[in-house]
Amino acid sequence: MTKKLFAFCLFLSLTAKAQTAQILLKLPQNNDFIVSLTAEKVRYLDAPSIGLTDVEFLNIGVFDDSTKQWAKTEFALKEPQVVRLNIVNKRMINANKSQESVNYLLFISPNDNLAIGISPNKTLTFTGTNARYQEYLRDYFRENMYDYLPQFGYNPSQIDNFHILTKVDSLQRTRQQRLQTLKGQQPIDEAFETYVTAITNTEPYLLKLVVSDKKIRESQGVQLKPNQRKEIQELALQNFKIMPDAALLSEVYRNELRNFIQVPVIQKYPTDSAKRYILSPEAVQMAYQLSSEELQSYPKQKEYLLTHWLNYSTTFRSNMSTARGLLAKYEQTYPESALVPYFKRTIEAKEKMEVAALAPEFMLKDRDCNTVALSSLRGKPVCIAFCYNLKQHENDFKPLEEKYRGRLNFVYLNITPATTYEMWQPTTEKRPGVLHLWASDDDAQMLKEAYASTMRYPFVLIDAQGKIVERWIPQEFPDNKPLQVELRDLIRK
């Protein structure tokens, strides 16, 4: 082997090694623990049933301490990621009983080699690469910031909870002081410092906002007066600070980043309950432009928010003209984005779902294993409910079935992922005016492309001639009044 070839092979070997991280678990044998590790990669991807999601959850290990005392996982890693460690009792799962699961945050970087000891009382100890990062997160951070409220003495039935603010400030100072101590002992990774600082700066003002919001409302319910709403919005604008791109690893920071852009947009283009607080086309366009301007120096955050607003216009608006305009800008900025084909497909599918358009044909199996075509149901109006879980919508719809019996056909169309016909069929029951249909994974994908189906808008109303009457009825709980209004109008036509 030549020296050049050897050097190249060595480089590839070192590069490949740098793209992984290792976690070794020492389990407390015979405690019936199941330990799972889930990595969170912040990126937009097409997820089943819900359209785009902004985090990819990667299962990197599930371990049972009744079968082994040591467990090791190695996974590809190109940049730092948050990993969640969950501990549950196996016997509680097998008995279908409620249980207290314990969750920990880990911050894992490429080339980390971390060992984690789990005690019988579910506490953790760390050794190895960046063990001090994990100790810091273990001691000063919870998975859900609202878990602090009862610990601080917050009383949800009490209007004035300002007594907890000193504890909120104390937690923030303690986190900051401990971080400075870590930095004084040894330099720390910039991404880790950004991540914990983003949480440290964002969580306290959100906890304070809970207290202020309660006081401002003073038991007035959910409807705020304009000046009260503005007061709450200003609190958010005054406290949020844009941080380096690594802050995107923090979920609470991502939420407030979106809010930071949305608040001035809503102040200019107010939303209202009559339109389900959905942003107008002008508002979405302003949010897209504002994100581009405010985040010019933060390329990852800019792409994250521009993707968010394009997805918003595609998801929450039934008219696709705004989405098409934003997609043109997006494609010009990110011509190589893998999401561009997704947005094009979704927009095209939604444009075909216009009122009075013929509903796309499909042929699916019913509960008796017969193939049923949508066109065979013409003669009566049809309400299709896309079901993403077995028997979804049926309990809510049974009163409607009775009300419209003989005048309307209800179709429960199962597109639950990875559900075989044999699993689905026993869950159905024969009822007058009701049809249960099953879609394979391939059929479900076809329906998604034809009907732009998601859990957010699971209903399609079709008239007796097979034409679409309404497609964009949201899923609402516990009582879906918009759907009921549309059903009444459908019967009259």
Provide the percentage of residues in the chain whose pLDDT is more than 70: 91
Cα-Cα-Cα-Cα dihedral sign, residues 231, 279, 273, 256: negative
pTM over 0.75: yes
Of 416, 411, 401, nearest to 437 (Cα)? 411
Region of poorest pLDDT, from 192-201, 300-309, 448-457:
448-457
Q: Is the pLDDT of residue 119 over 70?
A: yes
The tokens for 428 are 């159905």
Banded pLDDT at 389 (limits 50, 70, 90): very high
Amino acid 92: pLDDT: 64
Region of poorest pLDDT, from 228-232, 260-264, 329-333, 479-483:
228-232
Mean pLDDT of 167-172: 95
> Contact, 326 vs 317, CB < 8 A?
no
DSSP string, 453-482: --SSS-EEEE-TTSBEEEEEEPP-SS--HH
Of 106, 60, 81, 52, nearest to 248 (Cα)? 81
Mean pLDDT of 335-350: 95
Mean pLDDT over each residue of the chain, to the nearest integer = 90
Amino acid 392: pLDDT: 93
Give per-residue burial for 351-366: e unless 16+ CB within 10 Å, then b.
bbbeeeeebbebebbb
Amino acid 15: pLDDT: 44
Banded pLDDT at 360 (limits 50, 70, 90): very high
What would the pLDDT profile of 421-448 be if each residue is shown by its tens digit? 999 999 999 999 999 999 999 999 899 8
Region of poorest pLDDT, from 11-15, 350-354, 379-383:
11-15
